[in-house]
Amino acid sequence: MTTQRFRHKTPGGKNPTGVTSPLERAILAMVFLFLVASCGGSASSPNPSTPSPTLLLVLPDTPTATQWEPTFQVVANVETPLPIEIDPTHEQIQYMATVWSIDPLIPILNYHRFTPNRYDPTSGMVKYLGEFMDEVNRLYIAGFTLISIDDYLAGRVIVPPGRRPLILTFDDAIFANQIALEGDGQPSPLTAVGSLYKFSQEHPDFGFQAALFANLGDKYYGNVLRNGRWYLGEGWEEALAQTIAWSIDHNVRVYNHLYTHINLSTARDKDIQPEMLRNDLALRGYLEQVGCPELIHFIRNYIALPYGVWPKSQKGIELLLGYVNPEGEPVEAVFEAGYEHTPTLAPSPYSENFSPFHLPRMAGLSRIIDWLEATAPSLPTAQQCQMLLPPDIWTQPASVLEGEILSLVQDGQCSQGIYILENRVFRVTMEDVIQLKTID
């Protein structure tokens, strides 16, 4: 469309108004209307949400010398776009679930005493510290990561992706060669737990978790180190109390191995519960001695059978399982021993026939470490499943979360298996999601 200026002259060639054509008059009219609309809105303000019509001035396609009158046309109602409001309920939070494609089996290794001296005699009960750490490194290379007994029993079997769970326990505690503190309050590298602590700092994906099953009434605690050996010295009880507090506070939990390590198969039934109670009271007394009663909260009612044997009588078994600790908690788990003769892994806490009262432990012998290295490739490793979930997912019905998980599996984004997500555990197949437990 061509735009040209046309002049319309009055008779005599004069133009008293200064407006020379209909086009100019049209433009002037539009400017006037605009000014009126801008300045006169206070008397009768239109609804700001009501759009105003748009006027279009139509010019002829072909210029002409004749006079023409301007034509206006309403072409649209133009609305001012409103800002987009984001519904906060549509925000999503990323979660990472640990996934086991098949139920994980867990090796539980058991140790007793150690020596830092290479040429000291060793046995199934005494292990050279250098050999112990060499075997720890081999287990690390084989893909194992430490978990705690608490997490295992709760069903919180979580390790880094591509790794496998492992539990370490130490019986007949507490010997100084198992753990002792140096002057700076840190564990001595000349002890098993101290060496393990140092290794975990250098290999954080190995973790630092262990259990000490203590019998506190059958020995003194060596607190003086001379030539690689620990001797009894003044203040040994204070040193023992400090060591117990440090251990519990650093995920090396202390549990019950009976006060004087009695043989339950020959003990009188009436002696069983007093042995358990005296040990519990002594342990709590040490924590109170160093001003750490809050750590009592971490002492669970787990029992390791001395010599790995049960009471001979049914009544004795009932008394052991019926023991209640000073906090009123019943026995939650019983750990056996001697399974190095027929290597056995602890069952998955997700299996239907799981029993916490017959948990197998193997002595940490060299041949057992060899067996674990050879067996490791056949054991499942942890996987992960990334999920984007609404922030209110935990307040919605369980079926909503289960549906989200099922969709990821059916779409091929995540695999079937055991899912550990926050404090919930699910068994997931292509057809269904079943919640197995809620973790406290």
Cβ neighbourhood burial of 7 (10 Å; 0-12, 13-18, 19+)? exposed
Does 40 share its domain with 73?
A: yes
Per-residue pLDDT tens digits of the chain, which is 440 residues long: 443 333 334 444 444 445 455 555 555 555 554 544 454 444 444 444 445 554 444 555 544 444 545 554 554 554 554 554 445 556 899 999 999 999 999 999 999 999 999 888 898 899 999 999 999 999 999 999 999 999 999 999 999 999 999 999 999 999 999 999 999 999 999 999 999 999 999 999 999 999 999 999 999 999 999 988 899 999 999 999 999 999 999 999 999 999 999 999 999 999 999 999 999 999 999 999 999 999 999 999 999 999 999 999 999 999 999 999 999 999 999 999 999 999 999 999 999 889 999 999 999 999 999 999 999 999 999 999 999 999 999 999 999 999 999 999 999 999 999 999 999 999 999 999 999 999 98
Cis peptide leading into residue 174 (ω within 30°): yes
Q: At what angle do helices 314-321 and 269-289 cross, to 10 degrees?
A: 20
Distance between CA atoms of residues 337 and 170, nearest Å: 12
pLDDT on residue 84: 45
Q: Write phi, then psi, for 107 (nearest 5 degrees).
A: -75, 130
Q: Which residues contact 43 (CB under 8 A, 6 or more apart)?
A: none
Does 425 share its domain with 405?
A: yes
Does 207 share its domain with 316?
A: yes
Coil, helix or strand for 125?
A: coil
Name which of 364, 352, 361, 299 is nearest 334 in CA terms. 361
CB-based contact 352:334 (threshold 8 Å): no
Coil, helix or strand for 279?
A: helix
**Which domain covers residue 400, as residue numbers?**
384-438
pLDDT on residue 24: 55
Does 126 share its domain with 217?
A: yes
Does 292 share its domain with 336?
A: yes
CB-based contact 361:110 (threshold 8 Å): yes
Distance between CA atoms of residues 241 and 237, nearest Å: 6
Coil, helix or strand for 266?
A: coil
How many distinct structural domains can be found in the chain? Answer: 3
Does 237 share its domain with 307?
A: yes
CB-facing half-sphere around the CA of 250: CA atoms within 13 A: 20
Q: Torsion-angle region of residue 75: left (phi > 0), alpha (psi -120 to 50) or beta?
A: alpha
Residue 344 falls within a domain, yes or no? yes
Residue 99 falls within a domain, yes or no? no
Last residue of a domain, one of 377, 392, 417: 377
Name which of 134, 135, 141, 147 is nearest 105 in CA terms. 147
Last residue of a domain, one of 377, 394, 412: 377
Residue 351 falls within a domain, yes or no? yes
Q: Which residue has the tokens 């072409």?
A: 75
Helix, strand counts (H, E) of the chain: 9, 19
Q: Which residue has the tokens 């880094």?
A: 160
pTM, full prediction: 0.79
Count other C-beta atoms under 10 Å from residue 351's C-beta: 10
Residue 92 falls within a domain, yes or no? no
Residue 308 falls within a domain, yes or no? yes
Q: Write phi, then psi, for 90 (nearest 5 degrees).
A: -85, -5
Query: Partners of 187 in the beta sheet?
Result: 181
pLDDT on residue 353: 87
Does 364 share its domain with 349?
A: yes
Distance between CA atoms of residues 269 and 136, nearest Å: 39
Does 205 share its domain with 317?
A: yes
pLDDT on residue 41: 46
Does 155 share its domain with 192?
A: yes
141: domain CATH number?
Answer: 3.20.20.370
Distance between CA atoms of residues 330 and 213, nearest Å: 17
Distance between CA atoms of residues 417 and 204, nearest Å: 27
Does 371 share its domain with 390?
A: no
Does 64 share its domain with 137?
A: no
pLDDT on residue 16: 46
Does 361 share its domain with 289?
A: yes
